[in-house]
Structure 1
């Protein structure tokens, strides 16, 4: 899958499962407002993933129009 397909599949999962089953009462509102950032990490190990997480946390601090980030990491934590 390319990055666009990964983001699309992840967004669909959030819409169908998280919003569909009302697992997070705020998710639908933020999706509709396009305030959820979907980002695919190219991290290949846990240290790189931690750096990506730190970058996304900083982005949330710097960009108040982004409510949350879904950090997608297809190359790390495969056994989780």
Structure 2
């Protein structure tokens, strides 16, 4: 089984690419993303699933695809129609983590999470720091653990990245991010 690309998916991919370039790379939220962007090794999979079971099946299919194709270094599973409720999305994330383990991908892939309403534990919905993980659509980011381990071994102070991102987010301010995400379809 594979995810089928539909012409209706292209606008979702385009919006995601703009966000990735402008916010994630542009603000250096992920100092490792630019290399993958330039090398064109990022996979973009639009999933129209609105229920957890097919979404998990599609995620595992993409992991299988990545396991057999080293040309895809990292992949974004973009949920264009489902999981707009953050709590429902967190349920998907929790189950996805478990299914990765059950499918034998523990130590091979890890997930990072992005959502339009992302809210870190201990913060309020209005706190600007949440924008470090807010995206135009709900997404699960599939990361090759071996590649991440290599890059982290040579990156100075990787544990500082989240704190640096929060400083950048505070500097930009809530209005900047709200305006950017509000205009995602431009």
Q: Please confirm whether the aligned pair reaches a TM-score higher than 0.5, indicating the same fold.
A: yes
1:78 and 2:84 matched: yes
2:50, 2:83 within 8 Å by CA — same for their partners in 1?
Answer: no
Shift of 1:42: 2.2
Q: Following superposition, which runs of at least 4 residues in structure 1 exceed 4 angstroms of deviation? A: none
Q: In the alignment, which residue of structure 2 is the partner of 1:21?
A: 27
- Distance across 2 between alignment mates of 1:50 and 1:79: 17
> Comparing both chains, which one has the higher relative contact order based on Cα–Cα distances under 8 Å and sequence gaps of 6 or more?
1
What is the RMSD of the two structures over their aligned residues, measured on CA atoms? 0.9
Q: In the alignment, which residue of structure 2 is the partner of 1:36?
A: 42
1:45, 1:75 within 8 Å by CA — same for their partners in 2?
Answer: no
User: What is the SS of the residue equivalent to 2:63?
Assistant: helix
1:18, 1:24 within 8 Å by CA — same for their partners in 2?
Answer: yes
- Distance across 2 between alignment mates of 1:6 and 1:14: 12
Q: In the alignment, which residue of structure 2 is the partner of 1:8?
A: 14
Shift of 1:34: 0.6
Q: Structure 1 stretches of 5 or more lacking a match?
A: none
- Distance across 1 between alignment mates of 2:28 and 2:83: 26
Shift of 1:44: 2.4
- Distance across 1 between alignment mates of 2:42 and 2:62: 12
Give the count of matched residue pairs. Answer: 79
Shift of 1:75: 1.6
User: What is the SS of the residue equivalent to 1:24?
Assistant: coil
- Distance across 2 between alignment mates of 1:51 and 1:43: 10
Q: In the alignment, which residue of structure 1 is the partner of 2:175?
A: none
